[in-house]
Structures are given as C-alpha cells and as structure tokens.
C-alpha cells in the first residue's frame, strides 16, 4: 500500500496526468490520498478542427473536470499559460514555489526532463528546482518552507531505460483508460492512445511481476532526508 497522503502532480496539458501517472493517481485516491493536479496551460493549441480554434481551451477544461472525477483528483489548478509558451521565468517559477508550500505534499510527480514537447521539458525543469526553493527559509510571503521528501518524473511518450519505482496499477488501469476517453477533443491528435496506455502498462507490469504497472524515475536534484 502506498503511504503518501498528500500528492501534487504537475502537468503541462490537461491530459498529461492521465497518460503519465493516471493509474497511480486513481490508486492513491482510492486509498484516501488528497491528489492535486496543477496544469500549466489552457491547451489552446490542441485543436485538430478549425471549428475548435478559439474554443478548445474551454472544451479541454470541461474534459479535465470529467477525467478528474474518474481519477478521484481533489483539486485542479490551471495556471492559464498559452500552449507552447511555458518557459522558466521568475513569475512561473515562484508560483510553483507558492503552490508547493500551499499544498505541502508528501510526493510530487512531474514531467520527464527529456520529453520531446517543449512544455513538458520546461515544466520538468521549473518544478524540480521549485521543490528545492520551497524548502528554503526565505520568501515567507510565499508560505512556510516545505521540503517534499519524494519527487518523481513520469512517462508520457518518452520511456525510461531504468525506472526507479514501479507501481502496480492492475486495479486502476480501467479508470485510467476511462479517464482518457473523456478527452474527446484530443483523440484525433492522439490516435491509438488507449492501445498505447495499455501496452506501456503491460510492459511495466512485466517488469514488476504484475499485470499492469506505471514507471517513475526519481529526481536526484535533492537527496532524500531519511
């Protein structure tokens, strides 16, 4: 049984937390953990139909609420940044520090630093460093310092060669797939995604010795304090 009670997940777009740690989120939620997801962008460039241009952000917000309900996410925070524009600037970095101090998580999940998508890479860099800054005894107006003991990268399309942690999601893969199906506006952009999710989960499950699993890679930016 996973012991994390407060979980913070950072994602660039509103389907990233599904494709990456969706099964783990559902598992933790069922065990009573409070899971918060912070999405950086509105997803405004994720349209495959011209009729969705200018409306896709609102559509994706509705879809995000539906998937959050399936996965048991307590709260979703959207920073409202335009897609393809996430950069490590002072304001965004400091907002992540503020959010970590506000939610005081036991564990943080974020993007892998080697992902293809520029937004994913930026989110990874910003949040990994923000975890450190949130622990320092400075900027009291941003909340009380908080050290997050565990910090992991999750897989979206780029997979880890040697994962640090494998979480059994045999009991929650169905919830992950159902959550993905709520992202109707994205299915033409992500053809075969349901099959991909099941395939990766099966491969990770083979490594773990279970039917399905999700893989995570520990950050070495800060050491664990045991």
pLDDT at 208 over 90: yes
pLDDT confidence bin for 47, thresholds 50/70/90: low
pLDDT digits (tens, 9 = 90+) for 31-40: 999 999 999 9
**Average pLDDT of the residues in 170-198:** 91
Residue 157 near residue 193, CB atoms below 8 Å: no
Q: How confident is the model at residue 49 (pLDDT cuts 50, 70, 90)?
A: low
Give the residue-averaged pLDDT of 152-162.
96
Does pLDDT of 128 surpass 80? Answer: yes
- pLDDT greater than 70 at residue 6: yes
Indicate if the pLDDT at residue 205 is higher than 80: yes
pLDDT at 46: 60
| pLDDT(222) > 80 | yes
Tell whether the model's pLDDT for residue 4 goes beyond 80.
yes
As a whole number, mean pLDDT of residues 1-7 equals 91
The tens digit of pLDDT for each residue in 18-35 reads: 999 999 999 999 999 999
Q: Percentage of the chain surpassing pLDDT 90?
A: 82
What confidence score (pLDDT) does residue 50 get? 66
**pTM greater than the 0.85 cutoff:** yes
**What are the structural domains of the chain?**
6-218 (3.40.50.10320)
pLDDT reading at 100 higher than 90? yes
Mean pLDDT of the region 170-190? 90
């Amino acid at each position: 049984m996973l012991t994390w009670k407060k979980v913070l997940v950072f994602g660039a777009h509103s389907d990233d937390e599904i494709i990456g740690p969706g099964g783990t989120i559902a598992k933790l939620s069922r065990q009573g953990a409070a899971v918060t997801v912070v999405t950086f962008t509105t997803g405004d460039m994720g349209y495959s139909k011209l009729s969705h241009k200018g409306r896709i952000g609102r559509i994706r917000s509705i879809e995000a609420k539906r998937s959050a309900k399936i996965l048991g996410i307590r709260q979703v925070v959207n920073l409202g940044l335009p897609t393809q524009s996430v950069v490590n600037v002072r304001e965004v970095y400091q907002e992540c520090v503020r959010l970590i101090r506000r939610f005081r998580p036991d564990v943080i999940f974020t993007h892998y630093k080697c992902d293809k998508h520029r937004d994913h890479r930026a989110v990874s860099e910003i949040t990994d460093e923000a975890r450190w800054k949130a622990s320092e005894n400075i900027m009291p107006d941003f909340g009380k310092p908080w050290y997050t003991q565990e910090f992991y990268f999750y897989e979206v399309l780029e997979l880890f060669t040697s994962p640090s942690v494998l979480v059994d999601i045999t009991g929650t893969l169905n919830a992950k797939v159902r959550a993905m199906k709520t992202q109707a506006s994205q299915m033409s952009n992500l053809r075969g995604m349901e099959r991909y999710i099941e395939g990766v989960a099966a491969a990770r499950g083979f490594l773990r010795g279970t039917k399905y699993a999700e893989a995570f890679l520990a950050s070495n930016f800060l050491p664990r304090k045991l």
